[in-house]
Structure 1
């Protein structure tokens, strides 16, 4: 898709309008000047590291990543080892690989769609940016938390578990209007630095979550009761992240 829709320069794009091309060309020199100024700026590390809004973003990203890791990485193991999906559903052509693909497609479409919706709300000034970011993030983290908490309640209903997984990822796409754009809102001149810090923190669940899950699960797969603890506690991470984001 990238090869078919992306061109080397704006002037080479066959569908660009004259006014849009002129706007881009007029601002190229300004962009270079701004880039030069940015290189000479001193990064206020102390102010960034002591900033509560920055930590609110980091915590929200961390908690969202933790919950998503449970949904995307551990839930397939739960489906196969605890609910025995491989025995009951492979005959119907439904496998973990297909489920994972559907979930990623749903998340991609959701992120793109809600990103456009968030921009539209901002352009129309329907609500202020701060309230918009908090609403989007609340739904983005609260929705998957509910889905994770419901998974133990549906027990061995494979269809409902899969539906909850897909719904959770669709709802999580609302963070395209939450913690993703808010970095530019609070510190446009240092957004790259803050993105780097918060994304580094958000990568920690990739190391910590497997250790956490391994602590609760005895043996290779664990019992249904042990998995319930994992799901409920992971839902708690989502809730903690959204509360921290709203407050700070």
Structure 2
């Protein structure tokens, strides 16, 4: 039986591909929770009132409870530990993107999530051994999370019919937005009631359970899945009949580097990551300095709204395509424009608002939430222009995007350190400038058709 609705436009809610997108969604929630929780547990891990020990030491206070140790880590050491996961992720992007087109995605994603979860379980022990062990643990966790972040995109080259790519991708990737919200909401409560080590044990155990579910339920090819219905198998196969994988084929690096659509996507990802890092890392600081409150739920609200809006954007974009209201290129440009321009408008609006609580919270929430539109814009665009090299292109674009995030977070720290009073105007105006300039380049050079260098007839020549 065909699993489509009578209109033929929407996938059945009980379809296997929808279930796998939901499973990947929760895997992403687990991964991001493991990544984000350290920034909150660090407050409980560090003895800010005790005397500073000599450099490169991490000695627990002798009178502190053994199940909730405190360490003498300097602010510089704390910064290195917090950022080390990002450097681990940077190393994996392009290599994993290439390998994901060759090796089974099931093993890559499942093993990466399992390794990240085990490292989360080991992090309290590593912290007790010293900051060097904690940094090494977080770098290794970054390597595993970077592997999962890039490899998962290749799933949809075989599982997502073109008419459903928006909603399936947005459902799976929205877990990246829900994860930080979950961490912000529950980490403080766990630290207060059970001690900070339990944060890593709980998130690590959850990730181990999800990795087991992934190994049991996911198959790389729909044709080999024992639970798929004949109708769904036929639907997926017929919709992807002209799509050829990249296994065994060399990537045309020169053609990729010369491709303006690739650069348009890359600059869009650069701007997205620039804004996302500012909102994720400095939103609690802004709320504390401007509103004089320190509320984890308030800091989590923008990420929660971004999660909801990202899922909604996937359904709306596929609706536009199925009803032939807009072309594929128009849909990608529209949602990229919404995802980059609206955050710029709302953060600039903050500069002209008074100190009112509700107006500030509304603008902050909308600035972060509207980033979710990019999921069905620049985030999925590489699958349109080069499906056979999707994994590699995602590795390249994510790497460039993460570079933008590192630059923005570093600059924001420098600006805040130099002039805390006027810093936010500079930070927000710079963010708006990056978003608008990147968007203009994308609108001019973006494409949504398979590029010549990614077509079957070009392979032998390239």
Please give the range of the TM-score, normalised by the shorter of the 2 chains: 0.7 to 0.9
Alignment of 1:9-158 (within 5 A): 10-12=225-227, 18-21=230-233, 23=235, 34-35=244-245, 38-86=246-294, 95=295, 97-158=296-357
Partner of 1:239: 436
- Asked whether the 8 Å contact 2:281–2:409 carries over to 1, the reply is no
The alignment status of 1:201 with 2:413, answered yes or no, reads no
State the structure with bigger RCO (CA 8 A, min sep 6), 1 or 2: 1
Cα distance in 1 between the residues matched to 2:435 and 2:299? 21
- Asked whether the 8 Å contact 1:65–1:203 carries over to 2, the reply is yes
* 1:34 to partner: Cα distance: 4.9
Secondary structure (helix, strand or coil) at the match of 1:235 reads helix
- Asked whether the 8 Å contact 1:62–1:205 carries over to 2, the reply is yes
The alignment status of 1:222 with 2:420, answered yes or no, reads yes
> CA 1:61/1:215 → structure 2, altered by over 3 Å: closer, same or farther?
same
Partner of 1:90: none
Cα distance in 2 between the residues matched to 1:63 and 1:81? 25
Cα distance in 1 between the residues matched to 2:442 and 2:305? 25
- Asked whether the 8 Å contact 1:118–1:176 carries over to 2, the reply is no
Gaps of 5+ in 2: 1-21, 24-209, 219-224, 446-462
Cα distance in 2 between the residues matched to 1:103 and 1:159? 13
> CA 1:138/1:23 → structure 2, altered by over 3 Å: closer, same or farther?
closer
Partner of 1:92: none
* 1:101 to partner: Cα distance: 2.3
Question: Please, what TM-score do these two structures have when normalized by structure 2?
Answer: 0.45
Question: Please, what TM-score do these two structures have when normalized by structure 1?
Answer: 0.81
The alignment status of 1:8 with 2:8, answered yes or no, reads no
Cα distance in 2 between the residues matched to 1:173 and 1:206? 16
- Asked whether the 8 Å contact 1:11–1:21 carries over to 2, the reply is no
Cα distance in 2 between the residues matched to 1:165 and 1:153? 13
> CA 1:23/1:239 → structure 2, altered by over 3 Å: closer, same or farther?
closer
Partner of 2:389: 190
CA-to-aligned-CA distance 1:91-149 (integer Å, 9 cap, x gap): xxxx1x10232222211111111112112212222121111111111111111110110
- Asked whether the 8 Å contact 2:276–2:405 carries over to 1, the reply is no
Q: How many matched pairs? A: 227
Secondary structure (helix, strand or coil) at the match of 2:217 reads coil
Partner of 1:210: 409
**Which of 172, 185, 209 lines up with 2:371 in the alignment?**
172
> CA 1:17/1:159 → structure 2, altered by over 3 Å: closer, same or farther?
same
Q: Highest Rg: 1 or 2? A: 2
Gaps of 5+ in 1: 87-94
Secondary structure (helix, strand or coil) at the match of 1:153 reads coil
